Amino acid sequence: MLKELRAMMHQDIESILYDQAAIQQVTAKLGKQVTADYQGKNPLVICVLKGAVLFMADLVRQIDTHLEMDFMDVSSYGNSTVSSGEVKIVKDVNTQIAGRDVLIVEDIVDTGRTLHYLVDLFKYRQAKSVKICTLLDKPATRVVPVQVDYAGFKVPDAFLVGYGLDYAERYRNLPYIGILKSAVYQLKQ
Ligand SMILES: O=P(O)(O)OC[C@H]1O[C@H](OP(=O)(O)OP(=O)(O)O)[C@H](O)[C@@H]1O
Ligand SMILES: Nc1nc2[nH]cnc2c(=O)[nH]1
């Protein structure tokens, strides 16, 4: 049953960009960089739900310093492949931000709106520092500027799913990252 569902989801994928091995390799590299930069700092590592949850789980296991974790749920795409332009907080963090070294963990930076909003928010809350670690960076579609401190892969201008990334809440559980066939969403938008 699980295999059949996986095969059905796979039929909607145009091509696989990064398989599990590639994701694991780049995550280990990012973990080493973060480890080196945050020695003795006890960073507050904030996962941006829902897309970044798988990356966060793998990344923190590659970071070799004390750290704290928190989770923020923000959304701007709904069931569309196009940003609504409005970032909505669905769930805020529970931790006091003032004085903390904040590391935001994202699955993808696309228009940059989500991260621009979050960086401003954490600076307003007087974080000591705010940095961004994203698995995927799509620079061609940037609308607002964002300084990405750690990036796994630079990706082309295509709608990606898998390994946490969804279309209409589907495909997050694919173990790889692929380009979604446009036929899947063209009729629905
Ligand atoms: O750079 P941007 O254009 O703002 O896009 C990036 C954001 O879009 C996705 O989240 P989405 O709003 O789809 O919510 P989700 O993580 O719950 O899927 C992704 O997880 C990022 O948070
Ligand atoms: N699933 C998914 N969500 C996104 N949010 C911003 N860009 C993307 C993308 O390419 N795929």
- The CB of 166 under 6 Å from ligand 2? The reply is yes
Q: What digits encode the pLDDT tens for the residues 142-189? A: 999 999 999 999 999 999 999 999 999 999 999 999 999 999 998 666
Structure confidence at residue 83 (pLDDT): 85
Tokens (6 digits) for 38: 């945050």
In a domain, 67, yes or no: yes
Q: What digits encode the pLDDT tens for the residues 26-41? A: 999 999 999 999 999 9
In a domain, 119, yes or no: yes
Domain containing 28 — which CATH number? 3.40.50.2020
Ligand 1 atom with minimal separation from the 172 CA:
18
In a domain, 181, yes or no: no
Start-end of H helices in the chain: 2-11, 20-37, 53-60, 113-124, 182-186
In a domain, 132, yes or no: yes
Pick the catalytic residue: 110, 120, 157, 166? 110
**120 a catalytic residue:** no
* Gap from CA of 167 to ligand 2 centroid (Å): 8
Q: What is the spatial distance between Cα 102 and Cα 95, in angstroms, rounded to a whole number?
A: 11
Count Cβ atoms within 10 A of the Cβ of residue 37 and give its class: 0-12 exposed, 13-18 middle, 19 or more buried. middle
Q: Decide if 64 contacts 35 (C-beta within 8 A).
A: yes
Our count of domains for the chain comes to 1
In a domain, 120, yes or no: yes
In a domain, 179, yes or no: no
Domain range for 125: 21-159
- The CB of 160 under 6 Å from ligand 2? The reply is yes
In a domain, 9, yes or no: no
The pocket around ligand 1, CB under 6 angstroms, is made up of 48-51, 75-77, 83, 106-114, 166
Query: Across residues 75-101, what is the average pLDDT?
Result: 92
Q: Decide if 55 contacts 46 (C-beta within 8 A).
A: no
Start-end of H helices in 61-134: 113-124
In a domain, 41, yes or no: yes
